[in-house]
């Protein structure tokens, strides 16, 4: 029955599959959809792929998949469902590249919109003092990078992985090692075109329909489907000096990271990660990084210590290569990493930005890409980060062999106010990302249950100790938890929902609101 399915929608169970056949009102809705005419097409078959995502744990079957060829396709289907009012349970999920973790781009019994089919507008570049590009929201960031470079330009703020859509990352925030300076991707967008939950097509920006603009940025798809975005660009560098250096003391590590993000003339990218019980890791790096001090580096052993790796990058053009080494030496002179553990690499800008894709190809070859990914992303205020590190890296995590654990600070002052993303209330907060992969049939330390239990322990610790954290890419199963997540912003968030998507048709996979019946 549908009641059971609704329960499933709120379930925390690690692998949820729902394929029950819809009720008779669904059948009516279904046939009314079948009568619609589109520039693209609506498919009731071969929809299996939309029940999957990168997380690999939630599988909800939709009624149909729309492959839009125009914005009016998207507007018509949303309007049609909106006009059916409370007589239908149909919902609509925009699906970008389907790289969510908990079914956020899925719609049980609803319509999934395959945003990558929307090829309009064609990418259009505007050069000049404030360069930008207009793109379809279904465009992948990697394609935008390739095209922008032809104009000597590039977006300013990235995610670590570029095979994600513009609409998908703008719905969450889009954070990477450039965010300390430029803010997340949502802060580097001049204008959006959005189809709201009533089917209306609206252009919005800081100056025009600004409430909708702010709502949609980081809005988890709740207020509208982004169809077009105007993305800020800057002159693109050609090359990157990429640096890694190790620390064994968290206080020294975080002090250096915070020092680097506070200075104007710093690196262009600053991240970091944690290494627990991973003896072979430095040997792996040697294939792509060279050590500043190979003899000492060869003798370096972790001796069972938890290590923290600073990762930084400085952009440059070959004609400036004389100065760049001096600039880097100046920056490094202020830092207190373990001297023998400085690793350097020089790569093209594109290889640097697309670095995770190299790992993807290797993992795909071994059949280790399409496995469950129970990821946990947290934003932690600076005032709590030491307590967090001590407990989580000292007690809860015994190794980092299930996947990288990223940790780096960002400046809140560089983040715009008023978007839908909630962050800790401090000037500096850290992104800590547990990017685990689980072996599907394992019941051991590399299995799903074990990893989920560890994540629960981390979250319980944060809650018990009142660390003031916020989940990034949040996932909750009850309204109370969502309210707690948004805190005082909940009123605004839910009010905006009632304005822009009054029947709660959009992005049901986020499980914040339920379709009005």
Minimum gap (Å) between residue 161 Cβ and ligand FAD: 3
If the CB atoms of residues 101 and 337 are measured against ligand FAD, the closer one turns out to be: 101
Q: C-beta of 202: minimal distance to ligand FAD in Å?
A: 13
Judge whether 200 and 308 are in contact, CB under 8 Å: no
Looking up tokens 């719905």 gives 171
For residue 424, the minimal CB distance to ligand FAD (Å) is: 16
CA diameter of the chain: 73
Residue 437 DSSP SS3: coil
For ligand FAD, the binding residues (CB under 6 A) are 53-54, 93-100, 104-105, 115, 137, 159-161, 164-165, 167-169, 171-176, 220-221, 225-226, 356, 473, 507, 509-510
Structure tokens at 445: 């330390």
Measured from the CB atom, the residue of 184 and 237 that comes closer to ligand FAD is: 184
Q: Are strands 16-18 and 58-60 parallel, antiparallel or unpaired?
A: parallel
Beta carbon of residue 492, minimum distance to ligand FAD (angstroms, whole number): 19
* Residue 391 or 515 having the CB closest to ligand FAD: 515
- Concatenating the DSSP letter of every residue in 57-112 gives SEEE--SEEEE-SSHHHHHHHHHHHHHTGGG----EEEESS---SSSTT--TTSEE
Contact 431, 175 (CB under 8 A): yes
> Which entry of 271, 354, 391, 501 is annotated as an active-site residue?
271
Q: Of the residues 59, 99, 182, 214, which is catalytic?
A: 99
The smaller minimum CB distance to ligand FAD, of residues 10 and 130, is found at 10
What is the Cα–Cα distance from 13 to 1, expressed in whole angstroms?
18
Identify whether 354 is a catalytic site residue.
Answer: no
DSSP single-letter state for residue 515: -
Rounded Cα–Cα distance for residues 455 and 434 (Å): 8
By beta-carbon proximity to ligand FAD, the closer residue of 328 and 499 is 499
Answer whether 42's CB lies under 8 Å from 68's CB: no
| Tokens encoding 236 | 């693109």
Our CB check for ligand FAD shows the closer of 68 and 381 to be 68
Task: Tell me the two tokens of residue 17.
Answer: 């599959």
160 catalytic residue (yes or no): yes
Q: Is the dihedral of CA 56, 34, 516, 507 positive or negative?
A: positive
Smallest gap from residue 6 Cβ to ligand FAD (A): 18
Q: Cα–Cα distance between 90 and 78 in angstroms, integer? A: 10
Q: Which is nearer to ligand FAD, 372 or 509 (CB)?
A: 509
Whether the CB-CB separation of 409 and 384 falls below 8 Å is answered with no
Task: Classify the C-alpha dihedral 416-422-427-428 as positive or negative.
Answer: negative
DSSP 392: I
Is 80 marked active-site?
no
| Tokens (6 digits) for 261 | 């993000």
194 or 236: CB nearest ligand FAD: 194
Which residue, 232, 204, 39, 38, is CA-closest to 135? 232
Which of 126, 134, 146, 160 is the catalytic position? 160
Of the candidates 115, 159, 101, the one whose C-alpha atom is nearest the C-alpha of residue 437 is 101
| Pairing state between β 269-275 and 201-205 | unpaired
How many DSSP H helices and E strands does the chain contain? 17, 21
Least CB distance to ligand FAD at residue 259 (A): 23
Task: Give the shortest CB-159-to-ligand FAD separation in angstroms.
Answer: 3
Supply the minimum distance, in Å, between the C-beta of residue 53 and ligand FAD. 6
Q: Which residues are catalytic?
A: 99, 160, 271
């Amino acid at each position: 029955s549908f009641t059971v399915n609704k329960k499933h929608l709120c379930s925390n169970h690690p692998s949820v599959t729902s394929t029950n056949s819809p009720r008779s009102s669904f059948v009516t809705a279904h046939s009314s959809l079948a009568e619609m005419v589109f520039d693209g097409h609506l498919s009731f078959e071969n929809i299996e792929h939309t029940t999957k995502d990168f997380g690999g744990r939630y599988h909800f079957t939709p009624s149909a998949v729309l492959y839009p060829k125009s914005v009016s396709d998207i507007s018509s289907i949303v309007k049609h469902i909106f006009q059916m009012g409370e007589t239908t349970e149909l919902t609509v999920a925009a699906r970008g590249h389907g790289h969510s973790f908990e079914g956020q781009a899925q719609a049980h019994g609803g319509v999934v919109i395959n945003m990558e089919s929307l090829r309009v507008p064609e990418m259009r570049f505007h050069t000049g003092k404030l360069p930008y590009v207009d793109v379809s929201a279904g465009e992948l960031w990697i394609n935008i990078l390739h095209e922008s470079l032809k104009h000597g330009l590039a977006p300013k703020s990235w995610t670590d992985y570029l095979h994600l859509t513009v609409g998908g990352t703008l719905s969450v925030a889009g954070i990477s090692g450039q965010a300390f300076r430029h803010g997340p991707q949502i802060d580097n967008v001049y204008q959006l075109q959005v189809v709201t939950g009533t089917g209306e097509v609206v252009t919005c920006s800081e100056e025009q329909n600004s409430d909708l603009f702010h709502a949609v940025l980081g809005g988890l798809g709740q207020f509208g489907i982004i169809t077009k975005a105007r993305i800020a660009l800057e002159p693109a560098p050609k090359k990157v000096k990429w640096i890694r250096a190790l620390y064994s003391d968290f206080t020294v590590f975080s002090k250096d990271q915070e020092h680097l993000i506070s200075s104007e003339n710093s690196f262009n990218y600053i991240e970091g990660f944690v290494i627990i019980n991973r003896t072979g890791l430095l040997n792996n790096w040697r294939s792509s990084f060279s050590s500043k001090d190979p003899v000492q580096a060869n003798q370096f052993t972790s001796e069972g210590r938890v290590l923290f790796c600073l990762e930084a990058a400085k952009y440059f053009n070959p004609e400036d290569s004389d100065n760049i080494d001096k600039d880097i030496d100046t920056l490094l002179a202020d830092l207190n990493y373990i001297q023998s553990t400085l690793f350097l690499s020089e790569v093209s800008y594109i290889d640097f930005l697309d670095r995770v894709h190299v790992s993807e190809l290797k993992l795909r070859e071994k059949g280790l890409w399409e496995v469950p990914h129970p990821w946990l992303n947290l934003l932690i205020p600076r005032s709590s980060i030491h307590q967090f590190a001590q407990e989580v890296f000292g007690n809860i995590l015994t190794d980092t062999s299930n996947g990288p654990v990223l940790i780096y600070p960002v400046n809140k002052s560089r983040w715009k106010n008023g978007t839908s993303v909630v962050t800790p209330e401090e000037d500096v907060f850290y992104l800590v990302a547990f990017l685990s992969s689980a072996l599907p049939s394992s019941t051991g330390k590399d299995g799903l249950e074990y990893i989920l239990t560890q994540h629960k322990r981390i979250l319980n610790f944060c809650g018990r100790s009142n660390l003031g954290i916020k989940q990034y890419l949040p996932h909750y199963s009850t309204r109370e938890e969502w309210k707690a997540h948004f805190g005082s912003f909940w009123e605004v968030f839910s009010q905006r929902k009632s304005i822009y998507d009054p029947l709660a048709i959009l992005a049901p996979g986020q499980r914040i609101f339920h379709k009005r019946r």
